[in-house]
Amino acid sequence: MLIKPTAWRLALFLCALPLTIAACAKGGSPAPAGTSPAWSASSAAPAPVSDAAVCADAGALRASWDKLKNVTIARGLADEIKSDLNGMKSALATFVNDAHGRWQAQTDTVKAALAALGTAVDELVANPGPATVAAVQAARVGVNAAVQNLLDAPGLSCPSGSSSPGGSSSPGGSASPSG
């Protein structure tokens, strides 16, 4: 079976996405000259946010993430994946609005990961097959890493049940691995 060049490029991009996310999470980009990076040892960690709206938004983001990471990825299920993806984009937009610029690096990474997943799903619809299913699975791994990085961000400290990274996921799951 011949795999189209776009599928290969997409798969390569999606495989590199988690590495990029990890590098950015560790402060991988340098600060402009004359400034000190936000991740330097001399910088204090941001104070935890006690804003109930942000915590509620983080909880909604986690709930939509749980739906997306448990959806079965297969030919013919693109509509369900797109629905969960749109729900997650909506939850992220609400979080970004209420966060007022805090955690922008993390939210930008989640946005990029969601965009990559959307592209992979579009490719799955256009060219259903094992390669595009694998590309969607790889993109979902990128979203998982980005969301986990956001919810674990310094200063995002919400009561248990709102956005706690160790929260339980919904029962059921999927027949395919979620990464």
pLDDT tens, residue by residue, 81-104: 999 999 999 999 999 999 988 999
Assigned domain for 174 exists? no
**What value does the mean pLDDT of the chain take?**
73
Instruction: Tell me if 135 is assigned to some domain.
Output: yes
| CATH code, domain with 151 | 1.20.120
Query: Domain span at residue 130?
Result: 48-164
pTM of the predicted protein model: 0.64
20-68 tens-digit pLDDT? 544 444 444 444 444 444 433 334 444 444 478 898 999 999 999 999 8
pLDDT for position 172: 35
Q: Does residue 15 lie in a domain region?
A: no
Q: Domains in the chain: how many in total? A: 1
3 in a domain, yes or no?
Answer: no
Candidates 106, 102, 124, 104; CA nearest to 47 is: 102
Residue 40 is assigned to a structural domain of this protein: no
